[in-house]
Amino acid sequence: MQGDGISRRAVLTTTAGCALAGIGIATVSGQDDDESNEDDAGITRDSFPIMDGTNRETTVHVTTADADGPTVVVVGGIHGNEVAGYAAAEEVADWAIDAGTLVTIPRADTVAVDRGTRTDDEGVDLNRQFHEGDDPETELARAIWAVISEYDPDVVVDLHESRGIYADDPVDGVGQAIFHSSNDEAVNAAAETADYVTRNYVDDPTRAFQTGPFSRPDNDPQGLLVHKAARDLGSDAFLVETLSVDVDLETRVGWHLAITEQLVADGLFPEDGTAPDEPEEAEPDEPEEPDEDETDEDASDDADADEPESPTATIKTVPEGADERALEPGQTIELDASCSSAPDGDIVDYEWDVGKTDEFDETGETITVTVGANARDSVVLRVVDDDGRTDTDSITLSTE
């Protein structure tokens, strides 16, 4: 049961995130190189707005090479707090390609990007609006989908960030991963890209890029853009997640760019010879760091005396028992984590994943949630103690 220190810290974290978002925007935009660029020989650049005249107006960039090749769509800013994703997509929009067509929507949810939040000003999570087989429900999602289905891309790459590392359990976060559609080409491209980028761009082995399949049609989360692209259009689709905490923005943007480039190299840069599946990797003699046995993580300050205990996450609802009965749509429930405990330390972070988004993007000892109109919302609480040990608890709020 922590006092002011905790919520204070949560507030500071949030503020830092918003400030960073501002810097990201300023750094990345602002260099509009037009057709005068000599790299642009053999390509045509075009751009147009969607949702024009509204506060959701955003720009679609289309670069077409003279040489035939596949059509690739790259999207960023579907979640406005995932800065490296949209910062990288802004750079991708300026790429000079050798073949094919590159369509970029760097700031898909520009309201969320401007706010520095995951969702827009109405709480809409854009990456839950793309249900396969149906028209998207929001105007913005429909406008984005109209562009994507018009171009009918061979490949779709959607750039995101996460506050945790994917360890085969999305509850811990989904950072440093490439999620892919289930066709062989996509599976292979993801694996080769993860391997290539890890070997060339990642120093810390705990941050190696991993791969995983998307959630299946009948599992949460549903309505991801990549789902619809893969299932309605047959695109090779990839959702890229970098770790957004403890890594500077430039590094994260660099990872996104390297991954995107590798995923599409075969198609858009056929002459470069940097295609991910070229066997340039016959050097398995990586200096494996034959443990100088003092290096076993760097968290070893005082933690190794006698089997430190992990914290215990506990969610209580106000009103009590809200997870055990049917709720009214629109009803507000307070979730209280103050009964969580940390026997061998202090809890320093309370992180929440509301609605099974696979991302812990709310913080605070207590939060309030509004029960959605549609059926069931899972909420996961993760507590982190001052040695980085974690535990999770989850509940489901249901209207049925």
* Nearest distance in Å: CB 233, Zn ion: 21
| 157/231 Cα distance (integer angstroms) | 14
Q: How far is the CB of 358 from Zn ion (least distance, A)?
A: 8
Least separation in angstroms between CB 69 and Zn ion = 28
* Least distance (Å) between residue 127 CB and Zn ion: 6
354 contacts 362 by C-beta, under 8 angstroms: yes
Segment lying near Zn ion (by CB under 5 A), choices 60-68, 76-84, 101-109, 164-172: 76-84
Residues contacting 369, CB < 8 A, separation 6+: 332, 333, 335, 354, 377, 379, 397
Whole-number minimum distance, CB 5 to Zn ion, in Å? 29
Q: How far is the CB of 58 from Zn ion (least distance, A)?
A: 16
Question: Which residues in 212-231 contact Zn ion (CB under 5 A)?
Answer: none
Q: Applying CB under 5 A, which of residues 160, 228, 256, 356 lies at the interface with Zn ion?
A: 160
Exposure b/e, 151-163, CB count within 10 A at least 16 = b? bebbbbbbbbbbb
**Between 79 and 163, CB nearer to Zn ion:** 79
**Is residue 363 helix, strand or coil?**
strand
Q: Which is nearer to Zn ion, 79 or 316 (CB)?
A: 79
- Out of 79, 128, 131, 356, the residue judged to bind Zn ion by CB under 5 A: 79
Q: Choose one: 36-44, 152-160, 213-221, 279-287; the region binding Zn ion (CB under 5 A).
A: 152-160
Choice between 85 and 276, CB closer to Zn ion: 85
Segment near Zn ion (CB under 5 A); pick from 78-86, 274-282, 287-295, 337-345: 78-86
Identity of residue 306: D
Stretch that binds Zn ion, among 71-79, 92-100, 184-192, 340-348 (CB under 5 A): 71-79
| C-alpha–C-alpha distance, residues 124 and 135, integer Å | 16
Query: What's the min distance (Å) between Cβ of 92 and Zn ion?
Result: 17
Length of the chain: 400
The 10 Å CB-count burial string (b at 16+, else e) for 273-301 is: eebbeeeeeeeeeeeeeeeeeeeeeeeee
Contact partners, residue 347, CB within 8 Å, separation at least 6: 2, 6, 311, 340, 341, 383, 384, 385, 386
Tokens standing for 7? 């919520």
Query: For Zn ion, how many residues bind (rule: CB under 5 A)?
Result: 3
Q: Which is nearer to Zn ion, 61 or 160 (CB)?
A: 160
Distances 135 to 132, 149, 225, 367 between C-alpha atoms, Å? 8, 11, 12, 32
Q: How far is the CB of 359 from Zn ion (least distance, A)?
A: 6
Of 157-165, 166-174, 291-299, 306-314, which part binds Zn ion (CB under 5 A)? 157-165
Between strands 236-243 and 316-318, the pairing is unpaired
Distance linking the first and last C-alpha atoms of the chain? 33
Q: Which is nearer to Zn ion, 225 or 315 (CB)?
A: 225
Please say which residue, 10 or 83, places its beta carbon nearer to Zn ion. 83
How many Cα atoms occupy the beta-carbon half-sphere of 154 within 13 Å? 15
Order across the sheet with 390-398: list the strands. Answer: 362-363, 347-354, 376-385, 390-398
State yes or no: residue 256 binds Zn ion (CB under 5 A): no
**Looking at beta carbons only, is 221 or 276 nearer to Zn ion?**
221
CB of 242 to Zn ion, least distance (A): 10
| Residues engaged in binding Zn ion (CB under 5 A) | 79, 82, 160
